[in-house]
Amino acid sequence: MRTFEYKAPETIDEAVSLLKEAGGSARPLAGGTDLVVQLKERATRFPYPATIVSLDRVSELRGIDFSETDGLRLGAGATMTDVAGHPAVRERYAALAQGAGVVGSLQTMNMATIGGNVCNAAPSADTAPPLLVYEAEAVIVGPNGRRTLPIAEFFRGPGETALASDELLAELRLPLPPSGTGAAFQRNTPRKQMDIAVVGVAVALTLSGDTIERARVALGAVAPTPLRATAAEAALQGQTANEETFAKAAAAAVQDSSPISDLRASAEFRRHLVKVMTARLLAEAANRAKGSS
């Protein structure tokens, strides 16, 4: 690991000023579970930083708030343990609680942050599919103020986001799910923990009786970025929530994906997992939706 200058601001504005002064040669540090590993391994996807801007003292990044009017607000510095264990997340955003709860060991969850997981922009990020089905928005802070971006537009490619070098992700906002909504997330890994997802799937269904009024399906680790499976969603819209409908939507989800073969799995196996997992999760989400009505 090379040497670098270490800064520890106490406010978001101070952190943004430090990033701007660095002129693109600084990297923000949250939990460190991704960045520290990248620094040790001399990752080549970004220039080695001259300055590390620690966000550990920026308390305004760590809050989690929920209201029946505005929905959920997640400070970018909230840890995975905080997110997965928050009562409102567990009750109203179950798929996100599931995703945040499997990012790694207990020690990793106590350090890793929701903002770091999103900003690392790994195609396999466990929180990305749930955030997509809940239609989260990213609140970004920079020298020119704040801007808001749909999470689907935040991911630009493997390791690439919509953030400029002098911007920070301040928080994520999730609208209140409609009444009668159920959601679920699952990932497939070679091992239960300390491994990267081969495939991740999240779904959210809003039912009126047995009719699907609204459907959201998102996939991870099967494309350059996490993505909404829009063909699968179209196959569900207005249909009866049953096994036949779920099977058709699962087949459509495969068409939405574009997996590669690597050391962890073949593209063919990933497509198989997308089909099986999507059908299974749709049934689970439908059961949850009926229970929430």
CATH 1.10.287.110 fits 66-174, yes or no: no
* Closest C-alpha to 224, from 123, 133, 117: 123
Using the structure block, give the residue that is written with the tokens 């939990």.
31
The pLDDT tens digits of the residues spanning 200-250 come to 999 999 999 999 999 999 999 999 999 999 999 999 999 999 999 999 999
Residue 161 burial (CB < 10 Å; 0-12/13-18/19+)?
Answer: buried
Q: Helix (H) and strand (E) counts for the chain? A: 12, 14
The pLDDT tens digits of the residues spanning 23-78 come to 877 888 875 555 555 555 555 455 677 888 999 999 999 999 999 999 999 999 99
Residues 157, 153, 38, 190: is their CA dihedral positive or negative? negative
SS3 content of the chain, % helix, strand, coil (to 5): 35, 25, 35
Q: Nearest 5°: phi and psi at 271?
A: -60, -40
CATH 3.30.43 fits 5-53, yes or no: yes
Asked if 81 and 127 count as a contact pair (C-beta separation under 8 A), the reply is no
Where are the domains positioned within the chain? 5-53, 66-174, 181-292
Alpha carbons 101 and 183: distance in angstroms, whole number: 15
| pLDDT value of position 104 | 82
Class for the domain spanning 181-292: alpha beta
| pLDDT value of position 44 | 46
Residue 126 has pLDDT above 70, yes or no: yes
Q: For 75, what's the count of Cα atoms within 13 Å in the CB-facing half-sphere?
A: 17
Residue 109 has pLDDT above 80, yes or no: yes
| pLDDT value of position 158 | 94
Q: Nearest 5°: phi and psi at 280?
A: -65, -45
**CA-based end-to-end distance of the chain:** 54
Residue 136 has pLDDT above 80, yes or no: yes
